[in-house]
Chain A
């Protein structure tokens, strides 16, 4: 891990599309529970089964998600880039990480403490609603994409 003290996390948060709907005090509160982290290319961010305390938003670089296949390399099924949520399951209590995340390019991430985010949202349901809406939208488009991958549309493709 490579923590890096960022002077103004609130400014970073305001730049992010996923937090666009938050009001000023909500951004300030969020800024209080996050930090910026950097990972060199090839490094592991988290592994399947990790307790998974943090939710991330990719600020820079690329992160690949994969699942370990016994007897072979990871099968990677999704890459995330700037603006994307990573490790959103940390928002849910007692939910371990469901995949391996590895930086495939040097990555800069905004790391948010999942438990603290949850309690922030518990106190401020309006903020909670906005955050959950963003997470839901990310999860929904990933579900969509996963369905398309499931169809394996190029495999028997005629032409």
Chain B
């Protein structure tokens, strides 16, 4: 079944409003189950209204209302016995589409010990969602964009989404924390549903929003609604919107928040925030995830399981050697700026739909609308958001896309690849030559995801191509890289990729090309150097500036020695410290940039701190920031824009990077906590 969206459904003659009573609703549930749908709807459990399987109208929370306030949620009796007289609870529909736990791939040793990877078997359940509020329809549309609107399609989400039937419910009463009206997402359901109900004094009006909905309505044989009832849908939702006390002004939020990254309010909110991650769990659009490795006891099969993650956890921003967002302030700011600001350039819409869940379920009652209002009330003196890739806030929300089956889904499944050679570069660094799957090609600067079943998966930049195998230079620092670095020729690993942006080699045509590498940063630059020096007519003047900790840490020594005498290459290496045997330069790499050419194009990669100082020197020399490229590193779990871990401001390092033109990251580059 396709979820098909017709913006003009209202004008459609076939979508006349029908009316049913409770028995009609019961018949509707029955028909859905007859068509093979599991019916899921609101029901009372543990003092909250949650979404769970419902077998009959009797399972709906008749006569209950959810009283909500910041940090507070409780069920109370209503004077009537309305079935949908509540708003939204701790569970959102993402639990059924982007499920909290999902096995991604399974790996096994086949006959003769060869590695095999499979996409984990997946049977999408056909589910009918009963009682989806307008805000949650908007949230589903947002997640559709996240999981199916990019270069990759998340296959499990897409399959579940394709198999879902959506029965919306219009809100005639909002909750105390609802602010959908100001966000333009409710309370009237206008699109993105198959059927939409409005509960009026024990009866329901029903409208169809898709062909599937219309077909079901025909089968239901419901009578046409009375004109007054149809009119009450519009009046009632309009009255609900007008009476909504809470609001958030979405205008200009990306500029406001990204222009106020040092606002004192972040410190104030951080002092209250517990970093418990509740808000991200209850948020219907939050999509971050992480991955757990599982393996059976014999080690013959292993799986990768995706679980919900949160930018409030330390793990989210973590790479070996530390976390990019160590402070609670960094994490709260990440969450809020992502949701309300970065989301816009990323997905063309705000990440907030105004449902108010994060306010109710925050143990200390932090209110997103108040945080925004506080910053709006006293914006910093110079909001500098130059160079920000901001898109206008589209209004209304983009129509939910019907996610299509896509062959690129397979790109996310690792394929077995055999090591053909392992070359030790330094005591802790090895270059693995790996024969890639058929048809592999890459551009300098891109990376692959390399994995070992049961151990883990890591992004590793591509350091070259030897004619038959792709080279990966790996430093043994964590559990996964240690085991990768220990692989011997003939052994297999999992590979998927290549991913990410590449060094824009041709930007340097006819200009001095400066390649500035620090430590392992030379690895992703090596294929660039090879290309530059291989095309002397295009790149007559290449300069390689390389810094390492000690002479023993210099990578690719033999190859670099072989480059001596290349007419278009000058190499300057330096080390931070050395013993008596080293005759070369000693001192930090930035000192080799004192005579940076103003005409040059710069390709910089190394530890972030080294890049910061190197870029500063380059800019001090008068080089325009548009001629400087840097390669960033962040935590990466998916490489496809799904897991959210690799965010750097509004950018995804995995798909927008890792190579960025400096001016696009300049306003974040000198800051920490991103």
Interface residues of A (CB under 8 A from B): 41, 62, 64-65, 73-79, 81, 104-105, 141, 145, 148-149, 151-159
Nearest chain A residue, comparing its CB with the CB of B549 = A154
B576 touches A152 (CB 8 A): yes
B579 touches A158 (CB 8 A): no
Contacts A78-B586, A154-B549: A73 and B518 contacting too (C-beta < 8 A)? no
Residues of chain B with a CB closer than 8 A to A149's CB: 576-577, 588
21 contacts between A and B (CB under 8 A): A62-B585, A75-B579, A77-B577, A77-B586, A78-B587, A145-B588, A145-B590, A148-B609, A149-B577, A153-B518, A153-B519, A153-B607, A154-B519, A154-B547, A154-B606, A155-B549, A157-B321, A157-B518, A158-B477, A159-B519, A159-B521
Q: How far is the CA of A73 from the CA of B580 in the complex (A)?
A: 7
Q: How far is the CB of A152 from chain B (nearest CB, A)?
A: 7
B590 touches A148 (CB 8 A): yes
Residues of chain B with a CB closer than 8 A to A155's CB: 549
B613 in contact (CB, < 8 A): yes
B607 touches A148 (CB 8 A): no
B20 in contact (CB, < 8 A): no
A159 touches B633 (CB 8 A): yes
B553 in contact (CB, < 8 A): yes
B520 touches A157 (CB 8 A): yes
Q: How far is the CA of A73 from the CA of B520 in the complex (A)?
A: 26
State which residues 571-607 of B face A: CB under 8 Å. Answer: 574, 576-580, 582-588, 590-591, 606-607
Chain B 530-574 near chain A by CB (<8 Å), digits 1 or 0: 000000000000000001110001000000000000000000001
Residues of chain B with a CB closer than 8 A to A65's CB: 586
Q: How far is the CB of B282 from chain A (nearest CB, A)?
A: 32
B588 touches A156 (CB 8 A): no
Residues of chain B with a CB closer than 8 A to A153's CB: 518-519, 606-607, 609-610
B319 touches A75 (CB 8 A): no
B145 in contact (CB, < 8 A): no
Interface residues of B (CB under 8 A from A): 319-322, 461, 475, 477, 518-521, 523, 547-549, 553, 574, 576-580, 582-588, 590-591, 606-607, 609-610, 613, 633
Contacts A79-B586, A148-B590, A152-B549: A157 and B519 contacting too (C-beta < 8 A)? yes
4 tightest A-B contacts by CB? Answer: A154-B519, A79-B586, A156-B321, A158-B319
A76 touches B319 (CB 8 A): no
Residues of chain B with a CB closer than 8 A to A76's CB: 577-580, 582, 586
Residues of chain A with a CB closer than 8 A to B549's CB: 152, 154-155
Q: How far is the CA of A20 from the CA of B579 in the complex (A)?
A: 35
Contacts A148-B590, A154-B549: A79 and B576 contacting too (C-beta < 8 A)? no
B518 touches A154 (CB 8 A): yes
Residues of chain B with a CB closer than 8 A to A104's CB: 582-584
Residues of chain A with a CB closer than 8 A to B583's CB: 41, 62, 104-105
Q: How far is the CB of A69 from chain B (nearest CB, A)?
A: 10
Residues of chain A with a CB closer than 8 A to B590's CB: 145, 148
Q: How far is the CA of A63 from the CA of B579 in the complex (A)?
A: 13
11 additional contacts, CB 8 Å, given A148-B590, A157-B321? Answer: A62-B583, A64-B586, A76-B579, A104-B582, A145-B588, A148-B588, A154-B547, A154-B576, A154-B606, A158-B633, A159-B607
Q: How far is the CA of A41 from the CA of B610 in the complex (A)?
A: 31
Q: How far is the CA of A86 from the CA of B327 in the complex (A)?
A: 43
**Interchain CB contact (< 8 A) of B587 among A75, A79, A105, A156:** A79
Nearest chain A residue, comparing its CB with the CB of B631 = A159
Residues of chain A with a CB closer than 8 A to B607's CB: 153-154, 157, 159
Q: How far is the CA of A74 from the CA of B580 in the complex (A)?
A: 7
Nearest chain A residue, comparing its CB with the CB of B324 = A158
A159 touches B588 (CB 8 A): no
Contacts A151-B609, A158-B321, A159-B633: A73 and B579 contacting too (C-beta < 8 A)? yes
Nearest chain A residue, comparing its CB with the CB of B318 = A158
Q: How far is the CB of B16 from chain A (nearest CB, A)?
A: 61
B585 touches A81 (CB 8 A): yes
Residues of chain B with a CB closer than 8 A to A156's CB: 320-322, 477
